[in-house]
Amino acid sequence: MTDMLTFGTEEARRIERTYRTPDVIRQRRIVLDTLALQPGEKVVDIGCGPGLLAAEMAAEVGTQGHVIGIDVSDSMLTLARSRADVESGGIVDLHRATADQLPCADNSIDAAVSTQVLEYVEDVAGALAEVHRVLVPGGRLAVLDTDWDSLVWHCTDRPRMARILAEWDRHLADPYLPRTLLRTLRQAGFDAGPPRVIPLLNVGYQSNTFSACLIDTVASYVVGRDGLTANEAAAWSHDLATLGEDYFFSLNRYLFIATKR
């Protein structure tokens, strides 16, 4: 059973802060380099969140190009709209839409990207069929997701960590999506090879890192689940944040690049 994380105002702001850490800036750079956008291309960002990637893609496709960002969360779209207004000069269009109903014509999009989104989607095959519909033949798709089994997170109370992470696993439709995604991509009509691994590694506690920001998101999600109290979540957060040089966090994300057959 999942109890998917939804992105209201507070969660959207927390995610935006997380996505401005050097860890996630580096991840976006790798996604952009892999996608290799060309000036004038038309690209869709599926589950665009706060719009950081959409703004960076706008700079690459330029004024002759077009970026369409879609998301189900109004709070995320508000953040993405203010970023697009300030940074992207009319190249980014944002829509409230779901991954299985893209506001794009058949065979009209050169490239599509979806980072940290398909793991929230119940019908991944349906979402991939929809991307396949809108891409031009030969169009590229970049998909990035996390396998939460790859997590190594040092703490002083392993039973408490296990309870918290068991609840956290429920925030996604599939916390282990990458291991089955290659087959699903191929079945949806894409050519794709093995993914590239993008590790997130934080050694020694520092506040401006992916995992330090994640602590707040996890703590806020788990309170009230499986009897976890605010005090237990706070004690877990405090434990991690005070490990100093013993702090150790490692998590793998997997980047797939596929092309429409």
Ligand X SMILES: C[S@@+](CC[C@H](N)C(=O)[O-])C[C@H]1O[C@@H](n2cnc3c(N)ncnc32)[C@H](O)[C@@H]1O
Contact positions toward ligand X, by CB under 6 A?
7, 15, 19, 47-49, 52-53, 70-73, 76, 98-99, 115-117, 120-121
Instruction: Show the tokens assigned to 221.
Output: 């999600």
- CB of 243 vs ligand X, minimal distance in Å: 25
- CB of 68 vs ligand X, minimal distance in Å: 12
Cα distance between residue 196 and residue 257, in whole Å: 9
Cα distance between residue 156 and residue 125, in whole Å: 40
- CB of 215 vs ligand X, minimal distance in Å: 16
For residues 76 and 240, which CB has a smaller minimum distance to ligand X in the complex?
Answer: 76
For residues 146 and 155, which CB has a smaller minimum distance to ligand X in the complex?
Answer: 146
For residues 17 and 225, which CB has a smaller minimum distance to ligand X in the complex?
Answer: 17
Q: Which residue is nearest to ligand X (CB)?
A: 49
For residues 28 and 154, which CB has a smaller minimum distance to ligand X in the complex?
Answer: 28
For residues 120 and 221, which CB has a smaller minimum distance to ligand X in the complex?
Answer: 120
